[in-house]
Amino acid sequence: MIYQVYVRSFADSDGDGTGDINGIRSRLPYLADLGVDGLWVNPWYTSPLHDGGYDVADYREINPIYGTLQDARDLIREAHAADIKVIVDLVPNHTSAQHEWFQEAIQSPPNHPSRNRYHIRPGKGTDGSEPPTNWLSVFGGPAWERLPDGEWYLHLFDHTQPDLNWANPEVQDEFRDIFRFWLALGADGFRVDVAHGLAKDMSFPDIPTETEELLVTAKLRNHPFWDRDDVHTYIRQWREVLDASPNNSMMVAEAWVAPERVHLYLRPDEYHQSFAFNFLESSWNPEELTTSIQKALDDAGSVGAVPTWALSNHDVVRHATRYGLPEGVEWRKWLLEGPHDLLDADLGQRRARAAIMLMLALPGSAYLYQGEELGLPEVWDLPEEVLDDPVWEQSGHTTKGRDGCRVPLPWTANGPSFGFGAGPPWLPQPAYFGNLSAANQALDPESMLQLYRSALRLRRALVPASDEIEWLVPHHPKVVAFRRAGGLQCWVNFSRGEIALPDEATVQLMSDPAETDTGKLPPDACVWFN
Ligand code: GLC
């Protein structure tokens, strides 16, 4: 299991309100105790942090607010000593506008070769005052920004994140070298940001307006910037670099593509893993969840790979909150518009306990997002003045953004930032975070933290390495049940009543601890038994 560390919000060792690398080092015993096999560390490079560090100004340097390259080396060494691998987050689709390449490009005249590292083009219309295409930014608004000299540059995300021109061999060479740099530093793997981006249709066509609603998704085939075939050329270049290194390293794709296209990224000479986002996006519904699981298994299986599961990450509403919303409520919309009293927080917690057990029983790789082991909910009521995510501004305040899942972790029940650091944190924590602190939960045998610890321990012991899964015909239509090779069964009860377990069942773990010995599976609960 890989644990995702959002550096800025994990642990602050120097009291400046921002998490840092030495904070991660100080918590390695906690992570080892939880049972993690590896860490995925969100971008820690030099960056103006206009998009939480996904705007990289120097790919070979650590942001001073997080520490130094030596701190990164020390973290990797100490993690390895604890048998924990370290995956760094690589951002190849775009740089920060502060990157020296972009600075050189905008200070150079049109047609200068430095401009060809990005997509910088004249506009449309007689005076070039219209953007080159009708493409929209993922964060809202047009995907083009005009330079003072009249040309336009492409940014699929924030206007401070210009897109690189991957058709330029110089860009390709640079990134192979960046991979080598982090491998030499000891990295065990790479999470590749916007892995379905990079390649652009160099004829720069407009997107047909009848598919306008698809502008920011990868659902349109032959889309001018998502999930294009050329991207696989670059993936293979990186895979060669990884395979040539002695680190025995891996890479995992953040590719938001249709479920039946994920396997293209998982071919033997491409990524080792690619997230099954349709599982993450499924609502608490047995048909939707089983369909997403089966699709992911089939699709990955078609190229001899296994799926990669996650319930949360730093970009989505935390699942303890998503699962507490009535079915049919779109969580991104709910975040901004509410009504927030639709949320049943206790139900969300209950289902989150069941969901992690379901996920950890599946074949494939599992990723956890920091704080989910504490059952942290989305902090949906952050005041507007503290919002930091560029989505809020760029969308003209129509999308609230992702700050609510990035609030610094509570380590202790009290203290200025509940043990996160010695001073106020960069985003305010709600008062109830104290109760959810790791210290409190360590003392409570029925806490979410203890459930994660138990589930992870049992997963190592009981869940077989084989990729086989046998769906069981449930005796109730609202029970999802499957068996793994070796006999372990996983059942989830989506109905409103209790379900009897088979008489001979030996329960290994139940998401509802009060019911472990009753021979019954209550609603919204999951059990592992053999
Ligand atoms: C990815 C990251 C997200 C970031 C975006 C642009 O989706 O996970 O946090 O904003 O890419 O880099």
Q: Which amino acid is at 509?
A: L
Q: What are phi and psi of 88, to 5 degrees?
A: -95, 160
422-474: per-residue pLDDT in tens? 999 999 999 999 999 999 999 999 999 999 999 999 999 888 778 889 999 86
Residues 156-203: tens digit of each pLDDT? 999 999 999 999 999 999 999 999 999 999 999 999 999 999 999 999
Ligand 1: residue of 88, 138, 193 to mutate (most ligand atoms within 8 A of CB) is: 193
Tell me the C-alpha distance between 417 and 421, whole Å: 6
Q: Which CATH class is domain 2-95+168-448?
A: alpha beta
Concerning whether 193 is annotated as a catalytic residue, the answer is yes
230 is catalytic: no
Helix (H, G, I), strand (E, B) or coil at 2: strand
- Ligand 1 atom 12 nearest Cα: 54
Location of each CATH 3.90.400.10 domain in the chain: 100-154
Of the candidates 374, 388, 376, the residue with the CA atom closest to the CA atom of residue 322: 376
Structure tokens at 50: 């206009």
Q: How far is the CA of 396 from the centre of ligand 1 (A)?
A: 19
- Ligand 1 atom with least separation from CA of 402: 9
Q: How far is CA 158 from the centre of its chain?
A: 18
User: 169-184 and 231-244 helices cross at what angle (nearest 10)?
Assistant: 30
Percent of the chain surpassing pLDDT 90:
91
CATH topology of domain 469-529: Immunoglobulin-like (2.60.40)
Ligand 1: centre distance to CA 194 (Å): 7
Name the 3-class secondary structure at 237.
helix
CA of 519 relative to ligand 1 center, distance in Å: 45
CATH topology of domain 100-154: Oligo-1,6-glucosidase; domain 2 (3.90.400)
Peptide bond into 424 cis (omega under 30): no
The whole-number pLDDT of residue 208 equals 80
| 436 vs 413: CA distance, rounded Å | 8
Res 467: pLDDT: 84
DSSP state, residue 27: T
For the stretch 199-229, pLDDT in tens is 999 999 998 876 555 444 555 678 899 999 9
Burial letters for 36-52: b for 16+ Cβ neighbours within 10 Å, e otherwise?
A: bbbbbbbbbbbbebbbb
DSSP state of 205: P
CA distance 78 to 391: 36
Residues within a 6 A CB radius of ligand 1: 51, 54, 91, 157, 193-194, 254, 314-315
Residue 87 is inside which H or E element, if any?
strand 85-90
Structure tokens at 87: 């995956």
CA–centroid distance, 413 to ligand 1, in Å, is 32
Strand, helix or coil for residue 390:
helix
Q: Name the one residue in this structure whose structure tokens are 């019911």.
A: 515
Instruction: Find residue 85's DSSP bridge partners.
Output: 38
Residue pLDDT, tens place only, 66-119: 999 999 999 999 999 999 999 999 999 999 999 999 999 999 999 999 999 999
Catalytic residue among 151, 193, 389, 512: 193
* Cα 5 from Cα 313, distance rounded (Å): 10
> Using CA positions, which residue lies closest to atom 3 of ligand 1?
315
In a mutational test of the pocket of ligand 1, which residue from 315, 394, 395 has the highest number of ligand atoms less than 8 Å from its CB? Answer: 315
Give start-end residues of each CATH 2.60.40.1180 domain in the chain: 469-529
Distance 44 CA to ligand 1 centre (A): 13
For the chain, residues classed under CATH 3.20.20.80 are 2-95+168-448
Query: For residue 91, which atom of ligand 1 is closest to its CA?
Result: 12
| Residue of 5, 42, 51, 403 to test ligand 1 pocket, by largest number of atoms within 8 Å of CB | 51
* Predicted model pTM: 0.97
Within 13 Å of residue 162, how many CA atoms lie on the same side as its CB? Answer: 26
**How many DSSP H helices and E strands does the chain contain?**
14, 20
Tell me which of 254, 315, 388, 403 is the catalytic residue: 254
Question: What 8-state DSSP symbol labels residue 162?
Answer: P
How far CA 251 is from CA of 19, 191, 248, in Å, comes to 25, 6, 11
